[in-house]
A and B are shown apart, each in its own frame.
Chain A
Amino acid sequence: MSLLEIKNLYVEVDNHEILKGIDLRVNAGEMHSIMGPNGSGKSTLAQVLARRESYNVTRGEVSYDGKDLLAMKPEEAACEGIFMAFQYPVEIPGISNAYFLRSALNAIRRHRGLDEVDAMDFLPMFREKLKLLDMDEKLMNRSVNEDFSGGEKKRNEILQMAVLEPKLAILDETDSGLDIDALRIVAKGVNSMRSPERAIVVVTHYQRLLNYIVPDFVHVLVNGRIVRSGGPELALELEEKGYGSMEAGARQPAPA
């Protein structure tokens, strides 16, 4: 059984059909990359998997870890181990990053039947992760993403992933807008999360990230459909020929 299995998924936003029959299987231990031009529906897919309610699923099924993902609320999906790194992380004035992250961690720990972590133990526990992402501890006392630079926001997403230890992580254009140093740091963070129990889906617009994170499978999403699936070499082909060549291309089945 795959960790994630998407079957014939159709999604509408504001009565606008955006995903038009997605099929995708992701197994634990795998790294997938979803590539596609702007507006092809990548974020829509990511948000649906994170259970954003304003995205209306009109057809299809999604099973996650043997459960019906589409029946879950966002917090339930998160507690069950789904994590989506936002393309545009949200600024929340008045809530400190540390408090937010600890609340999230404790919500998930409670769900897993683990003890909560108190404020005292929290920071020391995560110093190493902050260091891995080259993040200043001071950021933890600032409001969530408020006045963070673009790079800091993206690293903050990866930090959250590292702390919350999901089973399925979906990273939505975490590489966009990063300079090469920040890209390396983010890639290092993502690579450190690879494990046989965990699946990672990297959504990207551009293949540069894939020089640092080598996926097992690459899928090309164009106009709400996966038009090609293949191995890492597909990213290079895309780089060379562009998305135009794919649109007409025969649709190949997603890897099992």
Chain B
Amino acid sequence: MRKQETKNVITELETYLESFSEFEKRAAGRNLPWLRSLREDAFARFCQVGFPTTHDEDWRFTNVSAIARTPFRLARNGFARVSQKELGPWRVAGVACQLVFVNGRFSRELSSMGNLPVGMKVNGLGKEIAGNPTEIEPHLGRYVDTQRDAFCALNTAFTEDGAYVHIRKGAVVEGPIYLLFISSAENSPSMSHPRNLIVAEEDSQAIIVEDYVSLDPGPAFCNTVTELVAGDRAVVAHYMIEREHREAFNISTLRIEQGRSASVTSHSVLLGGGLVRNNVHPVLMGEGGECLINGLFVGNGRQHLDNYMLVEHASPRCDSRQFYNGILDGNAHGVFHGRIIVHKDAQKTDAKQTNRNLLLSDEAQIDTKPQLEIYADDVKCTHGATIGQIEEDALFYLRSRGIDEVSARKLLLFAFATECLDRMKQGLVRKHIEGLINHSLFQVANTRAEARANSRKDEGRSWEEMG
């Protein structure tokens, strides 16, 4: 392994400069002055800040030098390489619509727009930037931190396409709005920067799913940003599913801006990816808002799954709940960093954070870190973290009733994961996710039993072979 850079230099600056100047010449909305300066400022900021190192407190447990030293180039739109048939396994029946993005670009042809209910609009962000910029301008780039966050700056610099979802005042959209992000490999390392904007106006309701998948192996870097604006009393459920292949780098930021009495739930389910960083950053701007942040990460092999929560209470009487469960096997490394900032005026804040982890092998690792910054005096903040193993007593109890070892392990893992599933509302999305988790845990249970049977000879390799 190469030594970690201690300074935030961008070793591949040349490549980024080239990519950016090419991008600027042809990108949608290049004639819009506000967008141009948004991109340019962000790019300049990215060049100044550079990729974070482990000396950076927010990145202490996650080394991104593998991203920093790879000369990624913007992925071309890979529509031609993706056929409807290939999409078969990724289709989800019963959703309101399924928008398909290949390497970050919206494909109308591959998408199924269904019968969209009145009061909502979904489209590729690029198309809206071109055709409807006045609707986009008030929101795009207003919420994420491009000053200090290199990945958000980089995404903003290359902002061109992604999903635009607009739910009008009072509209209730019952079916899930499903956004499928496919990365399709190219011959050289490629990057994409999907940018999503979700605006749920006052009193509206919606369910959004972001699903990240890979079509084929190959080094790919997906750096995605979603800005979610929940107006007063809006009720929004957001799901993020990461199930890319093991060579994928996935950095995602969900920035939520919540109005008065708005209720937002964020569910993250990380099952795939090689190096994954999942940032969830709600700001409770309006009084009486509530936010539930729920997550499950399941890692094995050499996966690195980092969850960075930043919950900002900026108004009085808001509730936030963070629950993250991690299951780690093989040489996997998990991180849970739960930061809560209670601003001066946010009296009567009620913030809670729980992170529970199961480590299934001696080599698996978890770093869990609460970080509370409280500037108000009348608040309730609690946090807790546990790290444990599958209990041998429970395993024996199940087996002594006739349940075989793999099934018993799977049952216990599933019981642990169920805590997260139970926080999702009953319905299509939960069922879909339950299936994915089930599949993933079966693999884990199976390999674990095998590893035990093989009396611990070279566990690491058998994990990789599982794929």
Interface residues of A (CB under 8 A from B): 50-54, 73-75, 77-79, 83-84, 86, 89-90, 92-95, 100-101, 103-105, 107-108, 111, 143-144, 160, 164
Are the CB atoms of A75 and B403 closer together than 8 Å? yes
Are the CB atoms of A74 and B400 closer together than 8 Å? yes
Instruction: Please indicate the chain B residues that have their CB under 8 angstroms from the CB of A86 in the complex.
Output: 397, 400
Asked whether A103 and B403 contact (CB < 8 A) given A94-B415, A94-B419, the answer is yes
Contact count A vs B, C-beta below 8 Å: 74
Are the CB atoms of A94 and B403 closer together than 8 Å? no
Are the CB atoms of A104 and B401 closer together than 8 Å? yes
- Chain A nearest CB, measured from B394 CB (Å): 5
- Chain A nearest CB, measured from B406 CB (Å): 10
Interface residues of B (CB under 8 A from A): 391-394, 396-405, 407-408, 411-412, 414-416, 418-419
Instruction: Please indicate the chain A residues that have their CB under 8 angstroms from the CB of B412 in the complex.
Output: 92, 95
Which of A83, A89, A94 makes the CB contact (< 8 A) with B416? A94
Can you give 18 A-B contacts (C-beta < 8 A)? Answer: A50-B396, A54-B392, A73-B405, A74-B400, A75-B400, A75-B405, A78-B399, A83-B401, A86-B397, A94-B419, A95-B411, A95-B412, A100-B411, A101-B401, A103-B407, A104-B401, A107-B403, A108-B402
Are the CB atoms of A111 and B402 closer together than 8 Å? yes
Are the CB atoms of B415 and A92 closer together than 8 Å? yes
CA distance A95 to B395 in the complex (A): 12
CA distance A84 to B398 in the complex (A): 12
- Chain A nearest CB, measured from B444 CB (Å): 16
Are the CB atoms of A93 and B405 closer together than 8 Å? no
Smallest Cβ-Cβ distance to B416: which chain A residue: A94
7 nearest A-B pairs in the assembled complex, by CB-CB distance: A94-B415, A104-B401, A78-B402, A74-B399, A107-B402, A90-B397, A108-B402
Instruction: Please indicate the chain B residues that have their CB under 8 angstroms from the CB of A104 in the complex.
Output: 398, 401-403
Are the CB atoms of B399 and A75 closer together than 8 Å? yes
Are the CB atoms of A73 and B399 closer together than 8 Å? yes
Are the CB atoms of A90 and B402 closer together than 8 Å? no
CA distance A77 to B400 in the complex (A): 8
Instruction: Please indicate the chain B residues that have their CB under 8 angstroms from the CB of A52 in the complex.
Output: 396, 400
Are the CB atoms of A79 and B402 closer together than 8 Å? yes
- Chain A nearest CB, measured from B327 CB (Å): 13
Instruction: Please indicate the chain B residues that have their CB under 8 angstroms from the CB of A94 in the complex.
Output: 414-416, 418-419
Are the CB atoms of B415 and A89 closer together than 8 Å? no
